[in-house]
Amino acid sequence: MTSGLNAEGWPDALTRRPAFAGDLAADVDALLAAHGRDVTREHVPRVAREAVRLARRFGVDVGAARTAALLHDVGGIVRRADMVALCRALALPVEAEEEQVPMLLHAKLSVVLARERYGVTDPAALQAIRYHTTLHARPTPLDLVVFLADKLEWDQGGVPPYHAALSAALDGGLEAGARSMLAWMATPAAHLLLPHPDLRAAWAAFGITPAGPGRSG
């Protein structure tokens, strides 16, 4: 992963950004608004509140959870059509699945923005942002908090179909919650366009077998 931001690779709107004001929640909101990401604007504060709740409940760093949650989707300001080229310009690896479903790259772009625009240096927070969509084979409690907060407060409108099961599973801890969520993501109801390699690694680590061989959705 590159350590510097290649300004030439970013959309014009980003290079004309106002200076970071120091209030992370407000700045993220303004950034999302400037790029017309109204659904994400509504989603992010809910995820941040849920991440803080989960962090307090399970003894995870509350500040890191809030920071990661506020920044987890900022990469979504990049147009989908530009995501692959931008990642390549930033020397970020692009998996075959990400080339086919560029939106999968938004988490990697969120990491770059978190580091370069907001000055986040905590590797634990950056990792939680990186894996918020898919999880991975060896998630930390912070990774689990951000992943589960994003799922409990999803951006598809209404109450997620797995919400009650996930909430009940969380009584058994973060890992039990993650296992419940990952199992749901392995069912046809999840309508996944393409399982990301990190999600497949998480399924394997949690002993979950996706339904049906060769399914692509």
Q: Is 157 exposed, middle or buried (0-12, 13-18, 19+ CB in 10 A)?
A: exposed
Both tokens assigned to 70:
């506020």
Task: Tell me if 24 sits within 8 A of 124, measured CB to CB.
Answer: no
Question: How many CB atoms within 10 Å of residue 100?
Answer: 12
Interaction mask 92-131, Fe ion, x per CB under 5 A: ----------------------------------------
Is 150 an interacting residue with respect to Fe ion (CB under 5 A)? Answer: yes
Q: Which is nearer to Fe ion, 40 or 180 (CB)?
A: 40
Is 73 an interacting residue with respect to Fe ion (CB under 5 A)? Answer: yes
Both tokens assigned to 21:
């004001």
Which residues, other chains included, contact 118 with Cβ-Cβ below 8 Å and sequence gap of 6+? Answer: 20, 24, 27, 71
Is 153 an interacting residue with respect to Fe ion (CB under 5 A)? Answer: no
Stretch that binds Fe ion, among 70-78, 86-94, 175-183, 205-213 (CB under 5 A): 70-78
Q: How far is the CB of 8 from Fe ion (least distance, A)?
A: 25
Q: How far is the CB of 174 from Fe ion (least distance, A)?
A: 18
Chain residues in the site for Fe ion (CB under 5 A): 73, 150
